[in-house]
Structure 1
Amino acid sequence: MANNKQIPIENKQQLIDYIAAGCKPRSAWKVGTEHEKFGFHRANHQPLHYHEPGGIKDILNGLAAQFDWQPEYEGEHVVALKRDGCSITLEPGGQLELSGAPLADVHQTCSETGQHLKEVKAVAEPMGSAFLGMGFHPQATREDIEFMPKGRYAIMSEYMPKVGSLGLDMMKRTCTIQANLDFDSEADMVKKFRVSLALQPIATALFANSPFTDGQGNGFVSYRSHIWTDTDADRCGIIPFVFESNMGFERYVDYMLDVPMYFVYREGRYINAAGLSFRDFMRGQLSVLPGELPTMKDWEDHLTTAFPEVRLKKFLEMRGADGGPWRRICALPALWIGLLYDQTQLDLASDWVSDWTTAEHEHLRNHVPRLGLDTPFRGATVRELALQMLAQARAGLEQRAIRSPCGKDESIYLEPLQIIADTDVTPAERKLGKYHGVWNKNIEQLFDTYAF
């Protein structure tokens, strides 16, 4: 029997059916949590390279040897690890990413995150290495960070400067936290997509944690979020069609067919298809593979090459949060589960954002990276929106009533965000306060204070 991923794509309906196959009954809904972090040498706070002692390769090999992760290779290079439905992968600049398993609740995802961070620390510490959770690297320049030995990154790094001025910074110097959630139907997907896309800037403000560039303040609270505004307009942003009446699986497929390709993967190597058309590929007219039709694996790969604020695969990916500490890694899935998995809160949120205009969505997207919770909106500020968002998420989590062994429901994971909203001070602003105060503008102190 043929591998489903190798089935040739001959018509658009196959692409629609691929995404629609993600529909799951409510009883089967899970949450997957991903987070990235910067590696550095404790002695001098310089970024970890791949081949050096205590570098990325050593850490991957150490995790495999000590904690039973299964290595995966590209050529002779170990580039990923897998275990129990989780994977550890490398972002372009060596940022280490945990892609967590689909889990039933936030208690489980927080336990998974904690176990991962403990394992990474156990391997890295004896090597003199450590990791940091922030949205943008606070000190290293582009030149300080080397690309990882993965073929897709070589293609992307060549293409990025042709379509934006900050794409290489996105690749090398950003880290995020991401939560992946399910839907039970096309209509449910559309409602969740609209709510999460509208409120993504509010999450960006709550998680804002990238106020430094090259060791100095950069004028933003989430420079990571700003980076995406000048990375590649063809594959980033608010995607306003989500709020239009014809939104559905097919409309998103049409969008993805218009997103230029990056690559095709064949026989262990990446073939450069940057800027080419997936529509041409479906006609057998891709110039780098003439006469060949794409497979479902090619479509699966292509879906990963768009970077809107919310991304649709067989699930929805929330992509608005800066990297941060353990407690905020747990807070992101809690925030979105509370809003999107409780029908009452989802309906209320849908009504709340239903009359926001495209101009207002763009206003939030464009101003939150600099102004954070202080961004003005309809006579108030994003802080008021954040307080409402948190209240609804809390109500949804309390209604779920999934308790830890200590008897606490999942709403406990919202506490770090509640403090941020209550005090009207983002993580970025707290770090700026220390930078201008007790650190005496010495960014080196940030690494020792905030390392995992």
Structure 2
Amino acid sequence: MDVVIPTDLNTPEVLRELSDAEGYLAKICFKTGPPLLSGVELEWTVHDRDNPAAPVDPNRLRQALGPHAPSTLDPVGPRSPLPGKGTVSVEPGGQVEISSAPHRSLRELCEHTSADVDRLTGLLTTAGLVLGDSGIDPYRPPRPALDTPRYRAMRTAFDRRGPAGRTMMYSTAGLQICVDAGTSERFGARWDAVHALGPPLLAAFATARHHAGTDTGWASARMAAWFAIDPPRTRPAWTPVRAGLDPVGVWTAYALAAPLLCVRRPDGDWLVPAGITFRDWIGGALPEPPTADDLEYHLSTLFPPVRPRGYLELRFLDAQPPGEWIAPVGVLAALLGDDTALGLAREACEPVLDRWKAAARFGLADPELARAAAAVLRVALAALDRTDLRPATRDDITTIVQRRLAAADRRTS
């Protein structure tokens, strides 16, 4: 889902004062209005059909994707969109991602994205490749497939804290849902609600337990890796303590206090010394002052479970088994499209607010999270009929969710 930057902010204005950065953040990260658009980003690990533990070959992947290959694989290729207008990107470990176009209709989003998934699956099948079915690679240890200045800087920064960064970069796959921020009157409640829904839905849709041939003991080893790599850039930008605070102020403080991951330079050396925050950069910590464009790029290196990008990007879900991505998308769309349902679901989350790590560690094995997840899913199923999804799609979502509900009920009975 593309960020729309106001035309008066397109030039690389130098940021010399904190107030300049604060004003810029308020303009680009929080665009309020009627919540009309939604989009998805679907990411998968990629495997050889006959030997899923074999490394990803970038050349094989480029040939398989053909005209849809991103510039990181084919710098001179056309980068053609898929039939449903989604675009393909490839992550540093060879994971493939579809980024949908934004849609006003949930039905159209699901149908167009399904067409894109079918096209991608067909291309890979022809090349003897298959998509993974979980949020972390169950077969292979972390291994790079692509190398760019950004990825080198990320690896260097994350290596300072241990191996979790390489696991995240090279082995994980997520499902991201993008939704409008909402009206100025409802935005604060919407921001609060999507954070509150995070732990129960992370627990309900966790798929990332096995990695590199090992049972990690985590329901979502993917989120465990994200939380471990660099807490100032991956922890939630919201807690129950901050629930009554202005989201713009909270996010501004978060973004300016996060350490720099990299600084783009023409020579390809994007490394920066450890511990320098964007606030420090404005204060003169690096030779050249930052620009508004540098700040916008810095925002792309922050990875909280919910990230404001003009819209809200919900980043806390694992990749789902084939054909099942539609279930968490439908659940969240049903809740966010119905204020009454969203209020009921938010109330059900009250006992487990901020239990992100418990959700990643235990999933539905935690009784409190299982109870909250069951309540949220039941509210979502009741609201599903009020969406514009076709009956067959609603039935598919209900079947998948009922299976998750049965797992939650077993933990609470």
TM-score by length of 2: 0.86
Distance in 2 between residues matched to 1:264 and 1:86, nearest whole Å: 29
Change in Cα spacing, 1:79 to 1:352, as seen in structure 2 (3 Å) is farther
CA drift at 1:48: 4.6
Aligned identity (percent) is: 22
Per-residue CA distance 1:79-133 (angstroms, 9 max, x = gap): 9664675321111201001111111233222223322222223222232222212
After TM superposition, list the pairs within 5 Å mapping 1:409-420 onto structure 2: 410=394, 412-420=396-404
Q: Residues 77 and 272 of structure 1: is their aligned pair in 2 closer, same or farther, counting only changes over 3 Å?
A: farther
| Aligned residue among 176, 186, 202 for 1:178 | 176
Q: State the AA in 2 paired with 1:192.
A: R
Count of matched residue positions in the alignment of Structure 1 and Structure 2: 398
Partner of 1:434: none
Q: Any conservation in 2 of the 1:50–1:148 contact (CA below 8 Å)?
A: no
Q: For residues 140 and 2 of structure 1, do their structure 2 counterparts lie closer, same or farther at Cα, with a shift above 3 Å needed?
A: same
The DSSP-based 3-state class of the residue aligned with 1:387 is helix
Provide the residue aligned with 1:244 in structure 2.
243
User: Do the aligned partners of residues 24 and 264 (structure 1) sit closer, same or farther apart at CA in structure 2, a change above 3 Å counting?
Assistant: farther
SS in 2 for 1:136: coil
What is the CA–CA distance in structure 2 between the aligned matches of 1:300 and 1:332, rounded to whole Å? 29
Of the candidates 160, 163, 175, which is equivalent to residue 161 of structure 2? Answer: 163
Letter in 2 for 1:33: V
Contact 1:48 1:56 in 2 (8 A): no
Change (3 A) 1:410 1:312: farther
Provide the residue aligned with 1:374 in structure 2. Answer: 365
| Counterpart selection for 1:338 from 334, 337, 343 | 334
The SS at the match of 1:399 is coil
Retained in 1: the 8 A contact 2:33–2:181? Answer: yes
In structure 2, what is the equivalent of residue 24 of structure 1? 33
CA distance in 1, matches of 2:257, 2:308: 15
Name the counterpart of 1:58: 63
2:377 matches 1:390: yes
What pairs with 1:29-48 in structure 2 (closer than 5 Å)? 29-48=36-55
Cα separation, 1, equivalents of 2:379 and 2:214: 37
Structure 1 position 51, deviation (Å): 3.9
Letter in 2 for 1:339: L
Gaps of 5+ in 1: 430-452
Q: How does 1:77-116 map to 2 (within 5 A)?
A: 82=81, 86-116=86-116
User: Is 1:109–1:330's contact at 8 Å kept on the other side of the alignment?
Assistant: no
Change (3 A) 1:345 1:73: same
Tell me the equivalent position of 2:3. Answer: none
Residue 352 to residue 39, structure 1, CA distance change in 2 (3 Å): closer
Deviations 1:190-231 (A, max 9, x none): 212222212212111221112212213222222112222311
* Partner Cα separation in structure 1 for residue 239 and residue 363 of structure 2: 25
Instruction: Describe the shift of the 1:73–1:270 C-alpha distance in structure 2 as closer, same or farther (beyond 3 A).
Output: farther
Judged with a 3 Å threshold, the aligned counterparts in structure 2 of structure 1 residues 424 and 43 are, in CA distance, closer, same or farther, namely same
| Counterpart residue type for residue 415 of structure 1 | T
Per-residue deviation, residues 336-356 of structure 1 (Å, max 9, x unmatched): 111122111223334444x55
Larger relative strand fraction:
1
Supply the distance in 1 between the matched residues of 2:269 and 2:57 (Cα, whole angstroms).
Answer: 20
- The aligned amino acid for 1:202 is P
- Can you list the C-alpha shifts for 1:387-427, whole angstroms capped at 9, x where unaligned? 21112222333234x143xx55757524312221124499x
Q: CA RMSD in A?
A: 3.0
In the alignment, structure 2 segments of 5+ residues that lack a partner are 1-5
Q: Which amino acid aligns with 2:122?
A: A
Label 1:372 to 1:2 Cα distance change in 2 as closer, same or farther (>3 A): closer
State the secondary structure of the residue aligned to 1:177.
strand
